[in-house]
Amino acid sequence: MPIVEIQTPTLNGELEAKYVDPAGNGLPNIVRVTESFSIDASWYIDGTFAPLLGGTWYLQATFQSADDVQGEFFQPVPPIAVTLDGRTGSATPYTASIPLTGTFNLNGHDSQVYDVSVTLNYHDQAGNPGPMAAFVDMDKLMVYA
């Protein structure tokens, strides 16, 4: 399960993400295009000022075809917004699920392999991007017909 640390001068934390196949149909990163699956993420922040922060976290998954030499990226679903509520520490993480069912078009191919990254961005209470962000690179994802 990919994990990355969130670090700023006065805060620290961790972001982790994993593929989830609720039906348990095998490997969670090899899915049929019609199967229900998601990326579940959890993260936390800690530090002196962490309980005082307000604003919103934005969680997003970005995909790139593994055979796309031009670097074209796409985001099949809009960012998931999660409001900061003062919680801190690894015992009370923030969590969100990025639903991916029905978001892939194989364009007539039998399968497609993707490089996947999950990003987390912080916006303050006024909606301005703040000084915290993190990403994790997931295992490759294969979607097949």
User: pLDDT tens-digit profile of 71-118?
Assistant: 567 888 899 999 999 999 999 999 999 999 888 888 788 999 999 999
Owning domain of residue 59: 3-144
- Asked whether 97 and 77 are in contact (CB, 8 A), the reply is no
How many domains is the chain built from?
1
Within 13 A of 76's CA, how many CA atoms are on the CB side? 19
User: pLDDT tens-digit profile of 4-55?
Assistant: 667 677 888 999 999 998 777 777 899 988 888 999 999 999 998 899 899 9
- Asked whether 63 and 115 are in contact (CB, 8 A), the reply is yes
Query: What confidence score (pLDDT) does residue 2 get?
Result: 60
Question: Going by DSSP bridges, is the β-strand pair 12-20/38-46 parallel, antiparallel, or unpaired?
Answer: antiparallel
- Kindly provide the residue ranges of all beta strands, DSSP E only, lying in the chain, ordered along the sequence: 3-7, 12-20, 30-32, 38-46, 56-65, 73-74, 80-83, 94-99, 111-123, 129-137, 141-144
DSSP character for 79?
P
> Closest by alpha carbon to 13, among 55, 56, 53, 46?
46
Query: What confidence score (pLDDT) does residue 121 get?
Result: 95
CATH number at residue 53: 2.60.40.10
